[in-house]
Structure 1
Amino acid sequence: MNIPIHFTDGTQLQYDPHTGQLGNTEDGELVSPPLHRAGPFRKSRRVHHLKIQLGLSCNYSCSYCSQRFVPHADQTTAAHVEPFLAELGTWYDPEPGSRIAFWGGEPFVYWKTLKPLAEALRARYPDLVFSIITNGSVLDAEKVEWLDRLGFLVAISHDGPGQHLRGPDPNWAPVLELYRRLRPQNRISFNPMLTRGNSSRAAIAAYFIDLTGDPDVPLGEGSMIDPYDDGGLANLMTPSERLEYRQAAVAELRWGGAQNFSITYSKFRAALGGAHASELGQKCGIEREDSITVDLQGNVLTCQNVSVAATAPNGMSHNVGHVADFDSISLNTITHWSARQNCQRCPVLRLCSGTCTFLQGDMFQAACDSSYTDNVVFLVGAIEAATGKRVEYIDAPHLPEERRDIFGLRGYRPKKVIHLKSI
């Protein structure tokens, strides 16, 4: 289906969210609708992206953390490393360039486990890509040298001027030494998230430019948070704040305030090109056959943010199988975007990809509202960059007025909403 996009100069073009095409085509029904991917999703033995969940313990307590209220399983320790490695070869046969990601909690809380595990894996798989996300708070000279020597890609979780929602600043000396070492090989980034109190990408970029002295400092993540509990909901915007955000965020795109964020370019590319929606995966890619998350006991998890002790919102266990019985792994905890009622008709489908795939009910709706507001800014930015025109209105009758009159140029004003107090 094509959606009319109205511009401030009175002209309009048609946009097809399934193909990413923008032009003067007539509105009509989609000829080849996306497949309905109902699941359960299976896993292939040709694993390209292996995520190893070390545990959920963390030395921070972020107010919007997706793991905050997830029940912890029995802790894995260094004693689990050797048995895990002994069995790994029975089900894992990666090609050069495949990725292993090491996850917490805070993964360096598990240093006594992480160190021998990663070193053994690097000796066994010298051509694989290693990645890790850390809050940087327990880095020291030994860990900096170790990350550099083992060839890690490193992302530092920090929200810049909004860091108070996550925790204290780390000791910057080892973080900046790691940045100095890894930046020439493009192996490091800072990964901030956006919240209602920290929603300017330009302000976040300015913070990290000042911190590093690097005008091209690379910034990953950079999207609005998804809510997983009341703490997450409290950090989402109200309807009036969403309107203000859309106005400010598109202005930042126009003058280049978001150019340090990698998502600016990936979202622009997704909006106006690429594969048909029938080939479009979920936001995080966990439904892919070649992506798998395991703990050190060989349990297969929905994703790295849960444990075997946790239950998904649909009532199924987040423990979806075991590598000892690979053919029985069944990812039945998620809902693909193609099975969501409104995703197939959504203008930002190509950019959002269905937000978090295991959220349900009111929590999913809150995530959807937030994700639409965030992604429609990039859709507008891509269209304006391609046409040189300014978008006024998205003429999609099936959408509520907030999602059509995105900048309030035709009079949309949200009703007053009392927001949850911050937790």
Structure 2
Amino acid sequence: MKISQFIIATEQDDNPNTYLLYNTHTTAFVAMEKEKYNKIFIEKNFKEDCVQQLHKMGFLVDDDFDELAALEELRIKGMSDPVQNVTLLTTTECNARCYYCFENGIKQYPMTKKVADATIQYIKKNYPEPQFAINWFGGEPLMNFEIMKYITEELKKAGYDLIAHITTNGSLLTEEMLEYFQKEYSDLSFQITIDEIGEKYGKIKRYVDIDAKDAYKRVINNVCMLLDHHVTTNVRLNFAASKIERAKEIYIQLKKEFEGHDNSSLYIYFAPLTLDSDNEIISDFHGDMEHPFLQAVKTQFSEGFPLYKPRYDGDMGLIGAFGLMPNAFSCGMTTKNRISIDADGTLYKCHRLSGKKEFACGTVFDGISEDNSIYRIFRNTTIEDEECKKCNLLPICQGGCKSQRILYGNKQKCHRIRQIQKELVNLYYKEISKKM
């Protein structure tokens, strides 16, 4: 018998004589006396009366059990899922000029009818099931609303039942657009980023067609319109680690903006910016203040929004609320059929790579090249990073974001809860203790 590598173990905040153990693979959780913890997990005395129960929970495993191989089997199964879903860029043009946008510097162009027709044919050829999901993206996708309508109508003629998620800055949304989307899609959701309040928001977005003093109110009104129509709306608050105090103020103010509307359709969440400057990497923070992402988690939870929207009820939902839920793969884009279609018809395995032709893996005209090196990186089920193989968080991150590694190397590879995992286990314990 041996100790599982997938354990987060920490002293209980309010009682140092109690140890909390969470298994990141099985989601098993246990609180035990520190003395017993030391005997079993430090001295490796496996004769204690609770050893068999700990074995059933996954904290102890058989000597010949290969935990990494079991995890790879899970990835192989998860990544073979024939997902009916594409990300579709209607344009790389945008009416905003956000300083942090990962598309800064790429060529701007709208999708043409020729590319749209080829995209429709590509979808019909590669996605045979009737239910199909489109993640509309850009640029600002609503700048090419006519192409959105054209593709939607042609796919519906072909027999598809469409689900749509629209990532937009929200400034161009109209009642007519919303009416169209609700009529044409069996399920509809939005993601809208709001990083500041009032005129400061306008100065960050730098819209080319909206005055800075008017931009914030327009977007807030459009979010309220979505909520009033009971449309699932995710409001994303990007933040730099060093600016967490201001980000928390913005978060609380945003929640107040939407009072009186359908908050059951609303989800507001923090998103750490991918920045290379000193002490801005969220998984490698060093400083005197409480970890910025831990502050973000606490703020979200106290305001009624878990870290991840609950996929389950009860205790399993709380596991997700604190970012401790294991996953079958690192990202949905690692599954075979998930693809991002650029506005010029180029295929990428992730929208983060769009516009960077060196990372392309095909076109809607010629299809995917499965021998392509980038495609193979995304489809590789084996964890090759030696540090990852030894990490207790591997069941949660499954090797991390492929695009992050491609674009930034190992500097940005680690999961954002890496430095705060013990604190999150304590928060989880406090919440489930309230139910006891």
Q: TM-score, normalised by structure 2?
A: 0.69
Indicate whether 1:51 and 2:90 are aligned.
Answer: no
Indicate whether 1:102 and 2:136 are aligned.
Answer: yes
CA contact (8 A) 1:49 1:290 kept: yes
Q: Which moved more, 1:126-135 or 1:216-225?
A: 216-225
What corresponds to 1:80 in structure 2?
A: 115
| 2:334 alignment partner, SS class | coil
What corresponds to 1:170 in structure 2?
A: 215
Q: For residues 341 and 72 of structure 1, do their structure 2 counterparts lie closer, same or farther at Cα, with a shift above 3 Å needed?
A: farther
Question: Of 10, 27, 52, which residue of structure 2 is paired with 1:20?
Answer: 27
State the distance in 1 between where 2:318 and 2:395 align: 10
What corresponds to 2:171 in structure 1?
A: 137
CA contact (8 A) 2:116 2:151 kept: yes
Question: Of 6, 9, 18, which residue of structure 2 is paired with 1:4?
Answer: 9
- Equivalent positions of 1:277-292 (< 5 A) are 280-282=328-330, 284-292=331-339
Structure with greater contact order relative to length (CA < 8 Å, sep ≥ 6):
1
What corresponds to 2:314 in structure 1?
A: none
Question: Of 383, 387, 403, which residue of structure 2 is paired with 1:342?
Answer: 387
State the distance in 2 between where 1:377 and 1:184 align: 38
What corresponds to 1:150 in structure 2?
A: 184
What corresponds to 1:259 in structure 2?
A: 304
State the distance in 2 between where 1:45 and 1:326 align: 18
Number of aligned residue pairs:
376
State the distance in 1 between where 2:404 and 2:257 align: 36
Indicate whether 1:268 and 2:318 are aligned.
Answer: yes
What corresponds to 1:415 in structure 2?
A: none
CA contact (8 A) 1:281 1:353 kept: yes
Indicate whether 1:328 and 2:370 are aligned.
Answer: yes
Q: Which moved more, 1:294-303 or 1:169-178?
A: 169-178
State the distance in 2 between where 1:199 and 1:37 align: 39
Paired amino acid for 1:383: Y
Give the drift of 1:352. Answer: 4.4
State the distance in 2 between where 1:91 and 1:133 align: 24
Paired amino acid for 1:79: K
Question: Of 247, 255, 268, which residue of structure 2 is paired with 1:209?
Answer: 255
What corresponds to 1:91 in structure 2?
A: 126
Give the drift of 1:324. Answer: 4.1
Question: Of 176, 180, 204, which residue of structure 1 is paired with 2:225?
Answer: 180
State the distance in 2 between where 1:166 and 1:241 align: 31
State the distance in 2 between where 1:320 and 1:156 align: 29
- 1:201-239 per-position Cα deviation (integer Å, ceiling 9, x unaligned): 753442223222247362255232334x66995899851
Give the drift of 1:287. Answer: 0.5
| 1:192 alignment partner, SS class | strand
- 1:306-360 per-position Cα deviation (integer Å, ceiling 9, x unaligned): 236433xxxxx33256674457365134477933333344454455454422223
- 1:122-164 per-position Cα deviation (integer Å, ceiling 9, x unaligned): 4445522111110012223433433333343222221244845
Q: For residues 320 and 120 of structure 1, do their structure 2 counterparts lie closer, same or farther at Cα, with a shift above 3 Å needed?
A: closer
Gaps of 5+ in 1: 312-316, 390-423
Q: TM-score, normalised by structure 1?
A: 0.71
CA contact (8 A) 2:237 2:268 kept: yes
Q: For residues 21 and 40 of structure 1, do their structure 2 counterparts lie closer, same or farther at Cα, with a shift above 3 Å needed?
A: closer
Root mean square deviation, CA, Å = 4.4
State the distance in 2 between where 1:174 and 1:143 align: 15
| 2:68 alignment partner, SS class | coil
Give the drift of 1:281. Answer: 0.9
Paired amino acid for 1:208: L
What corresponds to 2:401 in structure 1?
A: 356
CA contact (8 A) 2:309 2:320 kept: no
- Equivalent positions of 1:222-261 (< 5 A) are 222-227=270-275, 238-240=285-287, 243-245=290-292, 248-249=295-296, 251-252=298-299, 256-261=301-306
State the distance in 1 between where 2:389 and 2:79 align: 25
Paired amino acid for 1:157: T
| 1:6 alignment partner, SS class | strand
Q: Which moved more, 1:184-193 or 1:21-30?
A: 21-30
Paired amino acid for 2:319: R
What corresponds to 2:99 in structure 1?
A: 63
Gaps of 5+ in 2: 42-58, 207-211, 312-316
What corresponds to 2:45 in structure 1?
A: none
CA contact (8 A) 1:190 1:220 kept: yes
Percent sequence identity over aligned pairs: 15
Give the drift of 1:91. Answer: 1.9
If each structure's strand is expressed as a fraction of its own residues, which one has the higher value?
Answer: 2
| 1:260 alignment partner, SS class | coil
State the distance in 2 between where 1:42 and 1:281 align: 6
Give the drift of 1:74. Answer: 6.6
Q: Which moved more, 1:291-300 or 1:132-141?
A: 291-300
Indicate whether 1:189 and 2:234 are aligned.
Answer: yes
State the distance in 1 between where 2:350 and 2:127 align: 18
- 1:335-388 per-position Cα deviation (integer Å, ceiling 9, x unaligned): 779333333444544554544222239654345375534766544422332346
